Amino acid sequence: MSGMNGIEPGCGTGYVSGWISRCGSRVTAIVVSIVQLATARELTAEQRADITFVEGNAEATGLPDASFDFAISEYGATRSSTSGSSRSFNDGFRQKGT
């Protein structure tokens, strides 16, 4: 995972993103809750993790297509709707991404 670009939809407090960051990945973490976003940023500062946090809906990130090598989600991906979300989320992966 070192040197790869990852995304965590529904990151909550950023626990998983922090773990992936410490493995050497560049991580973009998306969360809809401004309260959880504040907590995630606070915890990230304490851990000295390098994470880009985005406030918003993981189904419509506004991030460029083909930006990520992998996605990881402890809970966030299980809560997305099924109407079109897979296609828009999948557009974010590079051709050989996982």
pLDDT tens-digit profile of 27-67? Answer: 999 999 999 999 999 998 888 888 999 999 888 888 888 89
Separation between Cα atoms, residue 23 and residue 18, nearest integer Å: 9
Separation between Cα atoms, residue 4 and residue 43, nearest integer Å: 22
C-beta of residue 11 within 8 angstroms of C-beta of residue 37: no
Predicted TM-score (pTM) of the model is 0.76
Residue 98 falls inside a structural domain: no
Separation between Cα atoms, residue 30 and residue 18, nearest integer Å: 13
Q: Find how far residue 53's CA is from the centre of its chain.
A: 8
Q: CATH no. for residue 45?
A: 3.40.50.150
Residue 57: closest CA among 36, 76, 78? 76
What total of structural domains would you count in the chain? 1
Residue 41 falls inside a structural domain: yes
